[in-house]
Structure 1
């Protein structure tokens, strides 16, 4: 299924770029350093670097079959592993839609894909922390994404993170990591928290590079873009988060 999602979403993006479905260039994403060029892809480096998310999602889907035969929560609810893999894949064309077109709709698809992945991480952690099932997960995910959309409507600039949607995204990730640590310390299951800290380190490095590329280290016409590094490091972080989920073991499986 994840392969189908990848093929369809990338195909739709290609069709949208060729047909102009995403709307006019309104300079959405122009603050991410890379200079706009003429052609169907306005910011090449910031666009093509999103392939990292597609690759990460496909690798997650490929490895999930083995996890489902172990003692992780994904064993009981394998559809959740597929859901996570698909959402990671969608980060790629979602973000690329903005950087390729700088359109308003592209920008919305970008932040929506971010909310979905961060919402998954927080909802999945909360489901396991409260010892509930997929119904709780789905309700919490929908509520969190809606909350992010509402917060993102606040149009005042926020220091460091730029806008309120980025702040909401970061809060969800902090919540997810905090709950994962608490789940591990509760002792009902074992989790290899090294993957959690590696994911946090990757995201911290991505955030640092993202900010440096906006303040003083911006080279608009270079193919080596800090925001492109942000994409690749966050794709790595998404994969490491999956590895954390896959490391879960019930007491009898330790």
Structure 2
């Protein structure tokens, strides 16, 4: 009897990306590769109360994204739990893992380059969510899905680098991120209504985790009610962990929908 395909490609790749990315952040912090400290991210309360990272708790909490990506990759060993293709599955889990080192780069160094990496990684995940929902809505091929993903990332990055300051969300990069997520969730609801399947508990839980995290993000900024600069218990670190939980739950939603959508096509 032929054994089912349970390839470990996503697991191996995300593990390598997570380890290499984290190691590069440590080396970049030690060597000053990302440029001088310009207080990028200083609005997130934590001060340098440890000798290495500028914001230690806010930095290390990003390992939650690495863990989330690795666990999703482990689930994806089962062919029935993958996204539409193995390539798209791998792309998704890798973008999640990249969130970790990219955000670490900003909080570890408070440099301009680190800030750009942080915003770019956010847009990678949100752009994938939009592109993947669009692909399933419009029946796009894998190649066109990738092109849509690249186009959305390019446009969102170009808009965010205008650097305009806005109320509440602080800058255009965060606004673009929020708009992309809203578009992705809206399309996921539309897709769920098109098929007969389980309740959308995974995506609803993801949204709940993200909204809870956003409320923490608001009150834990510098001068906020939850701001204790020299504490290891940072609200912004909790925001990272809740976001990591949200992307994990989103991944589980994709996997649940993949089972239903394959059945509908079959």
On whether the aligned pair clears a TM of 0.5, the verdict is yes
Choose from 28, 42, 47 the match for 2:54.
Answer: 42
Name the CA distance, whole Å, in 1 between partners of 2:104 and 2:149: 23
Choose from 152, 156, 166 the match for 1:148.
Answer: 156
Q: 2:124 matched to 1:116?
A: yes
1:232 is paired with a residue of what secondary structure? helix
Matching residue of 2:75: 63
* 1:186-219 Cα distance to aligned partner (Å, 9 max, x none): 22x6364111110000000000000011233211
User: Structure 1 residues 191, 135: CA separation in 2 closer, same or farther (over 3 Å shift)?
Assistant: farther
TM-superposed deviation, 1:45: 0.6
Matching residue of 2:212: 205
8 A contact 1:148–1:168 mirrored in 2: yes
Matching residue of 1:96: 104
Matching residue of 2:133: 125
TM-score, normalised to structure 2, is 0.89
1:39 is paired with a residue of what secondary structure? coil
8 A contact 1:191–1:244 mirrored in 2: no
- Structure 1 consecutive aligned stretches of length 4 or more whose deviation exceeds 6 Å: none
Matching residue of 1:221: 230
Gapped runs of 5+ residues in structure 2?
A: 1-12
Q: 2:193 matched to 1:185?
A: yes
User: Structure 1 residues 252, 46: CA separation in 2 closer, same or farther (over 3 Å shift)?
Assistant: closer
2:170 is paired with a residue of what secondary structure? coil
Choose from 237, 246, 261 the match for 1:250.
Answer: 261
Matching residue of 1:195: 202
2:187 is paired with a residue of what secondary structure? helix
Matching residue of 2:173: 165
TM-score, normalised to structure 1, is 0.93
What value does the CA root-mean-square deviation take over the aligned residues?
A: 1.7
Name the CA distance, whole Å, in 1 between partners of 2:18 and 2:250: 20
